[in-house]
Structure formats: structure tokens, C-alpha cells
Amino acid sequence: MLIPLPLGGGKDEIMKHEDALKRLKNVEGHIRGIERMIEEDAYCIDVIQQIQAVQAALNKISKIVLDEHLHSCVVTAIQGEDVADRERVMKEITDVFEMSTKV
């Protein structure tokens, strides 16, 4: 999945994309490490700590993507003439927030 560049996206946006991709690759490696830990019957608390590290990394990636979305898609919709589009992006933000607060 590519993170879309906002209209007029510049160097900062490209750096955010590269940062998100780099973080995702690190998470991928971390997941493989957790798989090995489970295969090798590693100590449960060690596995849980690694899972928590992955969750924290994914939360950071989510923040990067959300920040990009707010500064591109949401701004464009709010400034646009299409009321339905404006309502759609506002509902998306509300839905994302609701999902993030579920345990």
C-alpha cells in the first residue's frame, strides 16, 4: 500500500513515506524474530515484550500515515465544495478513532 502524496507534496512528505516504509520493514523483521522465539519456546514474557515493541512501532507508523492523511486528504475535502466528500472524511476520522480505542 502506498501512502498518497498530498497535492504539491514535497521533500517532507517523501521523507515521511521513506520513514514509514523503513519502520514497516523493521516491524517485518521483528515479526520474524517473534516467530522464531515461539518456535524455540522462548520465555513467554520475552515474547510478550517483543510483541509490545511491534505494537508500539505499528502505532508510530499509524501516526505518520494519519498525520499525512489529515494534512492532505482531509484538508482537501474540507476546503472543497463537495459536502458529501467533507462528511465522508469526517466520518472516516471518527471511525478510525473509535477503532483505535477498542481493546
pTM for the whole thing?
A: 0.77
**pLDDT for 57-80, tens place per residue?**
999 999 999 999 999 999 999 999
Question: Do the Cβ atoms of 16 and 64 come closer than 8 Å?
Answer: yes
Could you identify the residue written with the cell 517473534? 34
What backbone phi and psi angles, to 5 degrees, belong to 21? -65, -40
Measure the CA–CA gap between 89 and 29, rounded to whole angstroms. Answer: 33
Q: What is the pLDDT of residue 1?
A: 47
Question: Do the Cβ atoms of 88 and 99 come closer than 8 Å?
Answer: no
Q: What is the pLDDT of residue 14?
A: 80
**pLDDT for 83-99, tens place per residue?**
999 999 999 999 998 98
Q: For residue 68, give Cα distances in angstroms to 12, 19, 33, 46, 56.
A: 10, 12, 30, 34, 19
Measure the CA–CA gap between 56 and 39, rounded to whole angstroms. Answer: 23
Question: Do the Cβ atoms of 37 and 28 come closer than 8 Å?
Answer: no
Q: Which domains does the chain have, with CATH numbers?
A: 11-101 (1.20.58.1000)
**pLDDT for 23-70, tens place per residue?**
999 999 999 999 999 999 999 999 999 999 999 999 999 999 999 999
